[in-house]
Structure 1
Amino acid sequence: MPTPYWKVRPYVLTGGRTRTRQHLLVHTLVSVPYYDAVFASGLLPEPRSLYEHARTTRSVAELSAVCGMSLGVTRVVVDDLAATDRLCIHGDTAASPFDHRLLERLRDGLRQLA
């Protein structure tokens, strides 16, 4: 299926950026503290969709899926909206389930095999 003509290229939405100011994981929860219809009407369709879907608390991955944007673009747009205090990024409530020392030993072992 061809891409609709109205679909904006990812680099236009992100201004060519791929990095965010905050570390946003796929399970990071975001929400809109108060919805502003006037602000939403001034956004491009993709950020507007993300802003509107974040009215209920959702993860970055959920927003990416429901808005049809790539995860990288979603992270940058979420970061931009958060920088204007239009979106609230909730702190991670759970620590990483991975033991970093074990992962480093595994990485070093794989390098030795290569």
Structure 2
Amino acid sequence: MGAAAVRPYAWTRGRTKASIDLAIETLVSTSQRGRDQIGLLQVEHRTVAELCEQVRSVAEVAALMSLPLGVARVLLSDMAGLGMVTVHQTASSAGNMPDLALMERVLSGLRRL
């Protein structure tokens, strides 16, 4: 097994299930705590924190980091649990129709996977 296949597994310590349920369209952003402690974060968490300075969907984070969606979910879930990222309520989780621009961003992120 190559280093590229082992690394995400090591990042999640073998876990495949996130502790927080994150849909692919769920939006996340770096919290103030994440910005304050960015220099102390592990490489993979620092990369997520830098990417999420702009609000991003879970699918976008996975695509931009070239990670499987499950690995991105575990990383984001861990970071949310530590207060490093903020999980935003999406239109679809509020029972409303999702924003077309959001859906286009998710589709674009999925295509990059």
Q: TM-score, normalised by structure 2?
A: 0.70
Extract unaligned runs of 5+ from structure 1: 98-114
Q: Which has the higher contact order (CA 8 A, sep 6+)?
A: 2
Extract unaligned runs of 5+ from structure 2: 98-113
Selected match of 1:27 from 25, 48, 55 = 25
Q: Which structure: larger Rg?
A: 1
> Which residue pairs with 1:91 in the alignment?
89
| Residue type at the aligned position of 2:42 | L
**Residues 64 and 31 of structure 1: CA distance in aligned 2, closer, same or farther (over 3 Å):** same
> Which residue pairs with 2:67 in the alignment?
69
- Alpha carbons 1:46, 1:67 under 8 Å: kept: no
The CA distance in 2 between the partners of 1:86 and 1:11, in whole Å, is: 21
1:59 is displaced (CA, Å) by 0.2
The CA distance in 1 between the partners of 2:5 and 2:42, in whole Å, is: 10
1:15 is displaced (CA, Å) by 1.0
Q: Which has the higher helix share?
A: 2
Give the length in aligned residue pairs. Answer: 92
Structure 1: which 4+ aligned runs deviate by more than 3 Å?
Answer: 5-8
| Residue type at the aligned position of 1:66 | L
> Which residue pairs with 2:10 in the alignment?
12
Q: TM-score, normalised by structure 1?
A: 0.69
How well do the aligned residues superpose, as a CA RMSD in angstroms?
Answer: 2.3
